Amino acid sequence: MHSLHFLFALCSFVSAAHLSQSSFDDIIQHVGEPVGSEHVHDGVTMYISPASRPNDSKTAVLYLTDAFGLPLLQNKLLADSFARAGFTTIMPDIFRGDPAPHDIYFDADEFLAKHTTNVTDPVIETTISYMRNTLRFDRIAVTGYCFGGRYAFRFLRKGRGADIGFAAHPSFLQDSEVLAINGPASIAAAEIDTLFEPARRFEVEGMLNQTAHPYQVTLYSGTFHGFGTRGNISIPEQKFGKEEAFFQAVRWFKAWQ
Ligand SMILES: *[C@@H]1O[C@H](CO)[C@@H](O)[C@H](O)[C@H]1NC(C)=O
Ligand SMILES: *[C@@H]1O[C@H](CO)[C@@H](O)[C@H](O)[C@H]1NC(C)=O
Ligand SMILES: *[C@@H]1O[C@H](CO)[C@@H](O)[C@H](O)[C@H]1NC(C)=O
Ligand SMILES: *[C@@H]1O[C@H](CO)[C@@H](O)[C@H](O)[C@H]1NC(C)=O
């Protein structure tokens, strides 16, 4: 009797564990063809990955990329992963056709001088307006990576359009942008990141603590700047960090949507 119970308990434990692992793997995918498509709305190119049941959630994800933008396959695959997690995901071309070239040397100073906040903000404003007024989503969860991480915070400010935010390894994040948030904010940080050093992370934690909003700051060992999108998935710690940072965002959005 006891052993039968034990066996039953063990079987259900094993199958539950198996199920949840495979459902995680079904949601986040690192290889393959993107399933979303590009559209132009109000002069802004957007990669759109619809949730399989778009009407299930009134919340959509606004995905703000790293400097490599829409051409980077991992960005599209991660946007698709958010869609599989239940959120229609909109990824605007925040560089207006002029992203950083991937994997070759580029002049970061020149790139940043071209892509200032006064140039980038209007693209995001147009996207938010499209998400709310045309697609009719009630709430916007913003996820941002590196360059885009800063903008996740900028648009979490009151009246700027986002309701919940997540940023992986944000770069150039300003104090005023952290202090002005008007909704829950979550950060995934890399162990090695010259653009978000430990001392800066602690400062940001202290500022988040001064806001009245829920916050989370999680550090992933064995990771480098960029791991949330470009982590090397053949290295177990980086694969875990990339996947866990993704599920950190999904859990955050579901908890506070
Ligand atoms: C979602 O809702 C809209 C408007 O109510 C409707 O037109 C559309 O067909 C619905 N989509 C699905 C997939 O049910
Ligand atoms: C953006 O601001 C910079 C300086 O802050 C200025 O030189 C530039 O002309 C501005 N660009 C636009 C499009 O307003
Ligand atoms: C947050 O604020 C509380 C109350 O002022 C303080 O006790 C705590 O040490 C702060 N924590 C961080 C991480 O800044
Ligand atoms: C990823 O890591 C593997 C194993 O260390 C290595 O062979 C490969 O070159 C790395 N890929 C990239 C793009 O760095």
Mean model confidence pLDDT for the chain: 90
CB-neighbour burial class of residue 52 (10 A; exposed 0-12, middle 13-18, buried 19+) = exposed
Pick the residue whose CA is nearest to atom 3 on ligand 1. Answer: 55
Task: Based on the residue annotation, tell me whether 41 is a catalytic residue of this protein.
Answer: no
User: Could you tell me the residue range of the domain that residue 125 belongs to?
Assistant: 2-256
Bridge partners of 218? 188
Residue located nearest, by CA, to atom 2 of ligand 3? 209
- Our mutation pick for probing the ligand 4 site, out of 104, 232, 235, counting the most ligand atoms within 8 A of Cβ, is 232
- Which pLDDT band holds residue 6 (cuts at 50, 70, 90)? very low
- From the list 66, 93, 115, 225, the catalytic residue is 225
Q: Which ligand is nearest to the CA of 210?
A: 3
Predicted local distance difference test score (pLDDT) of residue 3:
44
- Name 6's Cβ contacts closer than 8 Å, sequence gap at least 6: none
Q: Whose CA is nearest to atom 6 of ligand 1?
A: 55
The β-bridge partners of 48 are 37, 90
Which tokens is 156 given? 């979490």
> In this structure, what are the phi and psi dihedrals at residue 136, rounded to the nearest 5 degrees?
65, 40
Task: Give pTM, 2 decimals.
Answer: 0.88
Pairing of strands 44-49, 89-92: antiparallel
C-alpha distances in Å from residue 224, one per residue of 76, 85, 106, 193, 239: 20, 25, 19, 6, 12
Q: Is the CB of 203 under 6 A from ligand 3?
A: no
- State in Å: Cα 254 to ligand 3 middle: 26
User: Using an 8 Å Cβ cutoff, are 85 and 250 in contact?
Assistant: yes
Closest C-alpha to 69, from 112, 90, 99, 44: 99
| Listed residue (112, 23, 123, 78) closest to 226, CA to CA | 78
Query: At 230, is the secondary structure helix, strand, or coil?
Result: helix
Q: Is the CB of 224 under 6 A from ligand 4?
A: no
> What letter represents residue 234's amino acid?
S
Considering the candidates 66, 93, 146, 163, report the single residue annotated as catalytic: 146
Ligand at minimal distance from the CA of 135 is 1
Structure-token pair, residue 241: 């960090």
Domain of 37, CATH number, reads: 3.40.50.1820
What are the tens digits of pLDDT across the range 112-141? Answer: 899 999 999 999 999 999 999 999 999 999
Could you give the number of structural domains in the chain? 1
Calculate how far, in angstroms, residue 73's C-alpha sits from the geometric centre of ligand 3.
Answer: 40
Among candidates 239, 228, 255, 254, which has minimal Cα distance to 25?
239
Q: Catalytic residue at 80?
A: no
Residue 52's pLDDT band, with cuts at 50, 70 and 90, is: confident
Cross-strand partners of 219: 189
Q: Could you tell me which residues come within 8 angstroms of residue 241 by beta carbon, excluding any fewer than 6 positions away?
A: 188, 190, 220, 221, 222, 223, 227, 228, 231
pLDDT tens digits, one per residue of 184-229: 999 999 999 999 999 999 999 999 999 999 999 999 999 999 999 9
Verify whether residue 193 is a known catalytic residue: yes
- For the Cβ of 113 lying below 6 angstroms from any atom of ligand 2, the answer is no
Distance CA 206, CA 152 (A): 18
- Is the C-beta atom of 55 inside 6 A of ligand 2? no
Reported as a single tens digit per residue, the pLDDT across 221-249 is 999 999 999 999 999 999 999 999 999 99
Handedness of CA 153, 157, 161, 163 (dihedral sign): positive
CA dist 22 and 29 (Å) reads 11
